[in-house]
Amino acid sequence: MIIEVSIQKINPGKWEALDEIDKRYEVVESRHGFPSKTRLNSISGTHDSNTLLIVREWDNMATMEAAYMSAFEDPELQALNAEGASIVASSRLEFYMKR
């Protein structure tokens, strides 16, 4: 089991826009085999309140890589990524192995 954690810094005042674009991301991601995600908003700790964590569980790295490779070629995903650039200030991915 692979746990993917995307840590995103959201631009102030862009949470509503993020919620709207995320609905469209879910449609595209599901077409490419992405598992459902859990969205967590930081309220205390290392990250400030404009931080979003997106967590997914994948069966294995090969499945995850295949889904991403398929999605990266999708023009609709490319358009969403371009639109999201004004919403997300920065993003990084971390991967963990479930024991």
Helices 75-84, 61-72: inter-axial angle, 10-degree rounding: 90
- Please tell me the distance from the alpha carbon of residue 60 to that of residue 13, in angstroms, as a whole number: 36
Which pLDDT does position 47 carry in this prediction? 84
Domain count, the chain: 1
Global pTM?
0.88
Which residues, including other chains, have CB under 8 Å from residue 51's CB and lie 6 or more apart? 7, 8, 9, 10, 41, 42
Residue span of the structural domain in which 21 resides: 2-97
> Tens of pLDDT along 57-94?
999 999 999 999 999 999 999 999 999 999 999 999 99
Which pLDDT does position 12 carry in this prediction? 96
- Which CATH number covers residue 60? 3.30.70.100
